[in-house]
Amino acid sequence: MPSPLRPRLAAVLALSLGVFLAVTALAVRPASAASTLNQLAQAQGRYFGSATDNPELSDTPYTEILGSSEFGAITPGNSMKWDATEPSQGQFSFAGGDAVVNFAKAHNQIVRGHTLLWHNQLPGWLTSGNWTAAQLTSILQNHIANVAGHYKGQVYSWDVVNEPFNDDGTYRSDLWYNTLGTGYIATALKAARAADPNAKLYINDYNIDGLGAKSDAMYNLVKSLKAQGVPIDGVGFQGHLAIQYSFPTDMAGNLQRFADLGVDVAITELDVRMVLPADATKVATQAEYYTNVVKACLTVPRCVGITIWDYTDKYSWIPGVFSGQGSALPWDENLNKKPDVYGAISTALGGSGGGGGGGTTSCRVAYSANDWGTGFTAAITITNGSSAISGWTLKYSYAGNQTLSQGWSGTWSQSGKDVTVTNASWNGTLPAGASTSVGANFTYTGTNTAPTAFTLNGTACT
């Protein structure tokens, strides 16, 4: 007969060993200072990735970081594009893309394939041909069958279509649209599904991170593709941001409305540039932009991950394209972590900051209701976080039984349970730490439960 004592003894031993290990771990590793960006993202059910490019793969100090646990996903910056993969018609070249895939495999990283169809980096034979619609359709289908077919089972996702829209939300007039009309998008997606049924198929674009004409156009496209049964699994929000422009409007709300269509969303090419030289004020704003992006992604359950467009200024595309701008990434040109920027990303992912610095604070909202049984006056004071804003949108939700009758000091609207307040003309500019108050009258039935979660310009407030 087994001794009833033994399991208990084992449990006590295990417990004390566990406590001992926990105490030791605490003593050796205070808080979560040792967690890397991808480890933190993984703890939130996401990945954190970086773009890379083939010339950089021979830079050993660079690849040591790229292959470390900081990154769980890799995107080839150039080597899967059309000019690299089909430089002559029907002649495919996969050496560059294969090198990136092999690097990722060797370091347990997933690959975001980028990109099967774009208006840039097309080979001369393709752009100079005078193709009929039928010819171009078959060229497109053949390219995708070969490239996505070659990487079948090896990529997590494909940016099947890259940058289909102009900033005003009209279709970009390029080879594809001009020859094939909007149908090229469905043609490309169907060809990709046929070539690699398990890859997540994305459409990817820039300046769709917040609400606006361009993201509306993408939203309508995805909605109509879904309605037609065209295969589409995700939308990529490039996230090429610049601190001299305001942060995208309601990024979390924007990501969520796409997710509500039944697709994944991902931040695919994040970098936050500034006009050089960098200074403490610019870096603080930049850190806040990174924080806001990470928080927006974490707010949306279907936001699967974040990729930065290379991790170091040493290999950033920004200075070459945006003259006089740069310093856009969390690692500097010497491959050192920038404490403020890296720290902001780490902190937003739930870590300890892992490099000191940071120190951004988020918005605060104080809510009170003066209730008379069938109605109430809501008084809300918004206190801005550590970066000045010009223009704001506050969002929160009620239980569902409260109805807006009239608001003031801002533009109030309600859609079902959700309330949105945008600034009035005179209170849109809020310096760091500044406050403003708004109010509204509501009617209600039943119980008047106070809202607890608020976002300001897409960022959760405390």
The greatest distance separating any two alpha carbons of the chain, rounded to the nearest whole angstrom, comes to 87
Token pair, residue 378, equals 């809501």
Strands (E), 105-195: 110-117, 157-162
Q: Does 78 bind ligand XIL (CB under 6 A)?
A: yes
Binding-residue pattern over the window 315 to 344 for ligand XIL, x denoting contact by CB under 6 A: --x---------------------------
Least gap, CB of 246 to ligand XIL (angstroms): 20
Q: Which is nearer to ligand XIL, 77 or 339 (by Cβ)?
A: 77
CA 439/CA 453 separation, integer angstroms? 17
Least gap, CB of 115 to ligand XIL (angstroms): 6
Q: Does 196 bind ligand XIL (CB under 6 A)?
A: no
Q: Helix 251-259 and helix 213-228: axis angle, to 10°?
A: 10
Token pair, residue 110, equals 């997933």
Q: Which of residues 276-315 bind ligand XIL (CB under 6 A)?
A: none
Cα distances (Å, whole numbers) of residue 227 to 97, 107, 185, 186, 224: 34, 39, 14, 12, 5
Q: Which of residues 143-162 bind ligand XIL (CB under 6 A)?
A: 162
CA 132/CA 134 separation, integer angstroms? 5
Q: Which is nearer to ligand XIL, 86 or 269 (by Cβ)?
A: 269
Q: Helix 183-195 and helix 133-150: axis angle, to 10°?
A: 30
**Residue in 67, 72, 77, 253 binding ligand XIL, rule: CB under 6 A:** 77
Binding-residue pattern over the window 159 to 178 for ligand XIL, x denoting contact by CB under 6 A: ---x----------------
CA 144/CA 192 separation, integer angstroms? 6
Element (H, E) at 20: helix 5-28
The residue count for the chain: 462
Q: Which is nearer to ligand XIL, 250 or 310 (by Cβ)?
A: 310
Least gap, CB of 309 to ligand XIL (angstroms): 6
Token pair, residue 215, equals 């993201």
Q: Which of residues 25-64 bind ligand XIL (CB under 6 A)?
A: none
Q: Which is nearer to ligand XIL, 321 or 399 (by Cβ)?
A: 321
**Residue in 86, 196, 209, 269 binding ligand XIL, rule: CB under 6 A:** 269
CA 303/CA 109 separation, integer angstroms? 18
Least gap, CB of 298 to ligand XIL (angstroms): 23
- Number of Cβ within 10 Å of residue 66's Cβ equals 25
Residues labelled catalytic: 163, 269
Which residue's Cβ lies closest to ligand XIL? 317
Q: Which of residues 235-254 bind ligand XIL (CB under 6 A)?
A: 238
Cα distances (Å, whole numbers) of residue 451 to 37, 95, 306, 395, 447: 32, 55, 29, 10, 12
Q: Which is nearer to ligand XIL, 269 or 288 (by Cβ)?
A: 269
Residue 174, Cβ density class (10 Å: 0-12 exposed, 13-18 middle, ≥19 buried): middle
Least gap, CB of 269 to ligand XIL (angstroms): 6
Token pair, residue 182, equals 């909007």
Least gap, CB of 329 to ligand XIL (angstroms): 12
Least gap, CB of 266 to ligand XIL (angstroms): 13
Q: Which is nearer to ligand XIL, 238 or 347 (by Cβ)?
A: 238
CA 377/CA 211 separation, integer angstroms? 29
Q: Which is nearer to ligand XIL, 78 or 346 (by Cβ)?
A: 78
Tell me how far the alpha carbon of residue 204 is from its chain's centroid. Answer: 11
Q: Does 209 bind ligand XIL (CB under 6 A)?
A: no
Q: How many residues of this chain bind ligand XIL (CB under 6 A)? A: 6
Q: Which is nearer to ligand XIL, 200 or 395 (by Cβ)?
A: 200
In degrees and rounded to multiples of 5, residue 365 shows phi and psi of: -130, 130
CA 147/CA 85 separation, integer angstroms? 7
Q: Which is nearer to ligand XIL, 67 or 77 (by Cβ)?
A: 77
Least gap, CB of 114 to ligand XIL (angstroms): 6
Cα distances (Å, whole numbers) of residue 452 to 176, 257, 371, 462: 48, 21, 17, 9
Least gap, CB of 317 to ligand XIL (angstroms): 4
Tell me how far the alpha carbon of residue 439 is from its chain's centroid. Answer: 33
Q: For residues 165 and 171, is the Cβ–Cβ distance under 8 A?
A: yes
Strands (E), 41-190: 47-52, 73-76, 110-117, 157-162
Which positions lie near ligand XIL, rule CB under 6 A?
A: 77-78, 162, 238, 269, 317
